[in-house]
Amino acid sequence: MLKALLPAILCPVLALQAQPADTLAGSSLRDDDVVITATRTERKLSNVAVPALLIGKAQLQAVQLRRLNELLQEQTGIFVTSGSGSGSFGGGIFGNGAQLQGMSPDYTLILINGEPIVGRQGGTLNLSRISLSNIKKIEIIKGPASSLYGSEAMGGVINIITELPAANTLQAQAKAGGYGMVDGTVAGTVVNGNTRAHLSYNYHRMGAIDHQPELFGNQQDPFFSHTGQAQVSHLFSNKTRLLLYARFYQERSDNVYEVADENLNPVRISGNTRLHDANLNASLVHQFSQKLTTTLRLYGTAYRSRQQLFQQKDGQPYYSDDFRQQFYRLENQTDWKLSDAHQLTLGAGAVYEQLNTTRYTGVRTNTIAYAFAQHEWRPASRVSVISGLRYDNNQVYASRLSPKLALRYAPTQRLKLTASYGAGFKAPDFRQLYLSFINNASGGYTLFGANEISMQRLTDLQQQGFVAQILPRASDLAELKPEISHGFNAGASYQFSQRFSADVNLFYNDISNQIMFDVVALRPTGSQVFSYFNVARSFTTGAEWNLRYQLNERWQLTGGYQWLFAADKDVYRRVRKGEVFGRRESDGAVYQLRLSDYAGLPGRSRHMANAKLQYQARADKWQASVRAVYRSSWGTFDRDGNAIINRADEMARGFVMLNCTVGVKLGARWRAMAGAENLLNHRDPNNLANLPGITGFVGLSYEWKKQ
User: What is the rounded CA–CA span in Å between residue 439 and residue 448?
Assistant: 12
Mean pLDDT to the nearest integer, 45-50: 82
Task: Indicate if the pLDDT at residue 284 is higher than 90.
Answer: yes
- Name which residue leads in pLDDT, 432 or 185: 185
Say if residues 165 and 171 touch (Cβ distance below 8 Å). no
Mean pLDDT to the nearest integer, 651-660: 93
Task: Indicate if the pLDDT at residue 211 is higher than 90.
Answer: no
Say if residues 256 and 218 touch (Cβ distance below 8 Å). yes
Q: How does residue 122 score in pLDDT terms, banded at 50, 70 and 90?
A: low
Say if residues 160 and 113 touch (Cβ distance below 8 Å). yes
- Name which residue leads in pLDDT, 410 or 29: 410
Q: Determine which helix (DSSP H) or strand (DSSP E) holds 431, and give its type and residue range.
A: helix 430-434
- Phi, psi torsion values for 518, nearest 5 degrees: -150, 165
Task: Indicate if the pLDDT at residue 14 is higher than 70.
Answer: no
Contacts of residue 11, Cβ cutoff 8 Å, sequence gap at least 6:
none
- DSSP at 220: B
pLDDT in tens, 535-549: 789 999 999 999 999
Contacts of residue 351, Cβ cutoff 8 Å, sequence gap at least 6:
327, 328, 329, 366, 367, 368, 369, 370
User: What is the rounded CA–CA span in Å between residue 506 and residue 405?
Assistant: 16
Task: Indicate if the pLDDT at residue 158 is higher than 60.
Answer: yes
Return the pLDDT at 658.
Answer: 96
- Name which residue leads in pLDDT, 262 or 309: 309
Mean pLDDT to the nearest integer, 509-533: 87
Query: Lowest-pLDDT range, 38-47, 130-139, 200-209, 666-675?
Result: 38-47
Tell me the pTM: 0.89
User: What is the rounded CA–CA span in Å between residue 393 and residue 581?
Assistant: 44
**Greatest Cα-to-Cα distance within the chain, rounded to the nearest angstrom:** 81
Task: Indicate if the pLDDT at residue 208 is higher than 70.
Answer: yes
pLDDT in tens, 424-483: 988 888 888 888 877 655 456 788 888 889 999 999 999 998 889 998 888 889 888 889
User: 576 in helix, strand or coil?
Assistant: helix
Q: To the nearest whole number, what is the mean pLDDT of the chain?
A: 87
The residue length of the chain stands at 707
329 pairs with which residues across the strands? 299, 351
User: 455 in helix, strand or coil?
Assistant: helix
- Name which residue leads in pLDDT, 238 or 526: 238
User: What is the rounded CA–CA span in Å between residue 172 and residue 186?
Assistant: 4
- Phi, psi torsion values for 239, nearest 5 degrees: -115, -25
Query: Lowest-pLDDT range, 69-73, 516-520, 562-566?
Result: 516-520
Task: Indicate if the pLDDT at residue 495 is higher than 90.
Answer: yes
Most confident residue range from 41-55, 99-113, 282-296: 282-296
Return the pLDDT at 440.
Answer: 57
The top-level CATH class assigned to 2-705 is mainly beta
Task: Indicate if the pLDDT at residue 219 is higher than 60.
Answer: yes
User: What is the rounded CA–CA span in Å between residue 483 and residue 146?
Assistant: 12
Q: How does residue 123 score in pLDDT terms, banded at 50, 70 and 90?
A: low
Q: How far is CA 94 from CA 157, 177, 223, 256, 533, in A?
A: 22, 21, 10, 13, 27
User: What is the rounded CA–CA span in Å between residue 451 and residue 532?
Assistant: 9
Query: What are the extents of the domains in the chain?
Result: 2-705
- DSSP at 606: S
User: 212 in helix, strand or coil?
Assistant: coil
Return the pLDDT at 544.
Answer: 97
Mean pLDDT to the nearest integer, 141-161: 92
pLDDT in tens, 599-634: 998 889 999 999 999 998 877 788 999 999 999 999
Among the listed residues 205, 287, 362, the one whose alpha carbon sits nearest the alpha carbon of residue 22: 287
Return the pLDDT at 638.
Answer: 83
pLDDT in tens, 297-317: 999 999 999 999 999 888 899
Q: How far is CA 607 from CA 76, 88, 107, 635, 645, in A?
A: 11, 16, 21, 13, 16
Mean pLDDT to the nearest integer, 141-150: 92
Please state, as a whole number, how many other Cβ atoms lie within 10 Å of the Cβ of residue 244: 16
- DSSP at 131: B
